[in-house]
Structure 1
Amino acid sequence: MDTTLDRRSVMAAALAMLAMPKLALAQDWPAKPLKLVVPQPPGGGFDFVGRLLGERLSRALGQPVIVDNRSGSGTVVGTDFVAKAPADGYTLLVGSVSNLALNMGLYKNLPYDSLRDFEPLGLAVAYSYTLMARKDLPQGTLKDVVAFAKANPKKLNYASAGNGSGQHVIAAALWQQAGVELTHVPYRGAQAAYQDLLGGRVDLFFDLSPTARPQVVAGNAKALAVSGASRLPTQPDVPTIGETGVAKLELESWFGLFAPAKTPPAVLERLRAELAKVIAMPEVMDSFVKAGGKPLALSQSDTHALVRKDVERWSRTVRELGIQPE
């Protein structure tokens, strides 16, 4: 009797039994609604991307994808909620440079690690920021704003969606490079900042282009500059920061979906495949372009590389700027 063959047969059977739960999981998942956590209140860039992707991902998976606006401590509360959620594919995160890269430099004791605790599913779009001024601000260009700020330190103020938010970091980096001092007015989310910008109670506000553009088009605020490497097709008359000669500064914020790091490979594979189809939909790409975004179509390896590069780059920038949480 060939005992070696018997041992091999037993081992093969055991491995097959171990694989059965994974196969069953791949076939049965998803068996209930998914939760897509947006770590900021409704109305901002996170929310825009989350709802656009979530609605179509729901159709693809055959289960509701419920958007959960879970804000607090900037974007920390919602992001940490997903980091500590069961790694079963039913709780996902809208991730961006803001909550995954900037927070790593902002908080000394951040309760999650962006590279260790999350697995990228796919990046959908990158947006520049638009610097807006209240519509009755006497200064009509970024160069005028900087000249006034140099002569009148801290007299002008600027809003943000909270300490360490993308809106805060891009503005702080700009003012530092330009050699001027402005007063920072942090809010709990972009929507609250808009209320005071449109009401004339704050002077300036950097926000992501998709949510900034409607206010500019409506005449509720005026656009002074965009933070990307080139002008936006939807705002061709608005110069880049570099074009103004005030500073050499570029920042684009990507957005995508992330799962807890230990999510089963079979579930990750299904999520990645369905999300890639959603991102490639002409209607989705068109929505991003119309909002001033640059649709992304990256491989899994390129996605991991970009996330790692920006986490390391922007967390370092935040530390160098000396930005502290509220």
Structure 2
Amino acid sequence: MKRRSMLTALACAAASAPWGAAIANAWPNRTLRVIVPFPAGGAGDLVPRIIGERLEKMWQQPVIVENRTGADGIIGMNAVAKAPGDGYTLGVASSGPVVIGKRLFPQLPFDPNKDLKPVSLTYETPFVLIVRTSAPWKTLEEVITAARKAPGQINIAIPNRGSIQHLLTEQMKGDAGVEMANIPYKGGGPAALAVASGEVDMTWGALPNVVGLVQGGRVRAIAVSSAQRARLLPDVATVGEQGQRQWTCANWNGLVMPGDTPSAIVATANAAITQALREPAVVQRFREMGVDPLGGTPERFAQLLREEGVRWARVIDARGIKPE
């Protein structure tokens, strides 16, 4: 019986391999869509548009970008998860809905581990702790000292519950032993503008969202979350340089497909995306925005998802952050 089962499995594998290759060879032959769960205008929206332009030229097929926002990215990712696994739908994935969401939103309408298939990482960029210009703080130590002297009186904007900025804020408060008032905002852009207007004291903002405000003197940058200083803000010290290396992290994005997409199509898409990310013109446009192109295999992307899941689960547990 075992021998018969083994022979059957081998026969199925032999049959499926050329079938998968045939599908990949015929794909794509019509319009593709990329679902972006973020508003138009930010790096998370611009990057897939830049990549889409290159894919159109390679594949000679239209690539349409659709913005489906809402529910901290869950609506857009659910649309990807529920789409047919025929290779004609991709989605822009970030840590919130695909890593952290499962822990904080038990009613998540999809299972990121089963319903989404990693294709390729696209970029990463650091977070920057910015404060209002009227505040006296210029270093992390000064921020922490002020928060200790006035528990709960300093506030910090939180762009989207369950985002890395949210959990990085909680890690900062826990490690430093301070309390700050979390003020929720719908996205990193509005949170950064709230700091610039003096509406709130500070926020962790993705570099592309805040670099213009910093360079224009509308906010003050205290620290960057990358291991190395940011090219666009070379005078701003890293969290590691200021004694908080454990806060090192990045805002990353990647492209995923529905979970039942054939692996041969995923591999073909990965190769094309990797090629696009290596083009000098693409690299230049990314760096002008303040993001670094990544690429890599689907397996590397899946590994990052696992690592991020472990890291942020520790913060959720340590800070007692409750599901909604």
Per the shorter chain, which TM-score range?
0.7 to 0.9
What secondary structure sits across from 1:224 in the alignment?
Answer: strand
Tell me how far 1:83 sits from its aligned partner.
0.9
8 Å CA contact retained: 1:104, 1:311 = no
CA offsets, 1:8-66, max 9 Å, x none?
xxxxxx99998897566434432332221111222334223322322322332222222
Q: Structure 1 residue 278 and structure 2 residue 276: aligned?
A: yes
Asked if structure 1 preserves the Cα contact closer than 8 Å seen for 2:126 and 2:250, the reply is: yes
Within the candidate set 191, 194, 212, 2:192 is matched to 194
SS at match of 2:221: strand
Secondary structure at the residue paired with 1:219? coil
Q: Structure 2: which 5+ residue stretches go unaligned?
A: 1-11
Cα 1:270–1:18 change in 2 (3 A) is closer
| Alpha-carbon spacing, 1:18–1:251, altered in 2? closer, same or farther (3 Å) | closer
Equivalent AA in structure 1 for residue 208 of structure 2: P
Identify the residue that residue 248 of structure 1 maps to in structure 2. Answer: 246
CA RMSD of aligned residues (A): 2.6
- TM-score normalized by structure 2? 0.87
Instruction: Tell me if structure 1 keeps the 8 A contact 2:192–2:209.
Output: no
Relative to 1, partners in 2 of residues 1:95 and 1:151: Cα closer, same or farther, differing over 3 Å? same
Residues 87-106 of structure 1 mapped to structure 2, 5 A cutoff = 87-106=85-104
1:251-289: CA deviation from partner (whole Å, max 9, x where unpaired): 123211110111123322321121111111112222333
TM-score normalised by the chain length of structure 1:
0.86
Of 294, 297, 307, the match for 1:296: 294
- The CA distance in 2 between the partners of 1:216 and 1:164, in whole Å, is 25
* CA distance in structure 2 between the partners assigned to 1:290 and 1:44 by the alignment: 13
Pairwise CA distance, 1:132: 0.9
Match of residue 45 from structure 2: 47
Gapped regions of structure 1 (runs ≥ 5)? 1-13
Q: Judge conservation of contact 1:131–1:207 (CA < 8 Å) in 2.
A: yes
Match of 1:107 in 2: 105
Match of 2:225 in 1: 227
What's the CA shift for 1:227? 0.9
Distance (whole Å) between structure 1 residues aligned to residue 194 and residue 223 of structure 2: 20
Paired residue type of 1:273:
A
Identity %: 35
1:152 Cα offset (Å): 0.9
Which of 161, 168, 171 pairs up with 1:170?
Answer: 168
Considering only CA atoms, is the larger Rg found in Structure 1 or Structure 2? 1
Measured after TM superposition, the shift of residue 183 of structure 1 is 0.8
SS in 2 for 1:244: coil
Aligned to 2:220, the other structure's residue is in SS state strand
Shift of 1:153: 1.3
Alignment deviations for residues 207-251 of structure 1 (CA, whole Å, 9 cap, x no partner):
111222122112221111011222122212111112223573211
> Size of the alignment, in residue pairs?
313
| Residues in 2 aligned to 1:225 and 1:99: alpha-carbon distance in whole angstroms | 26
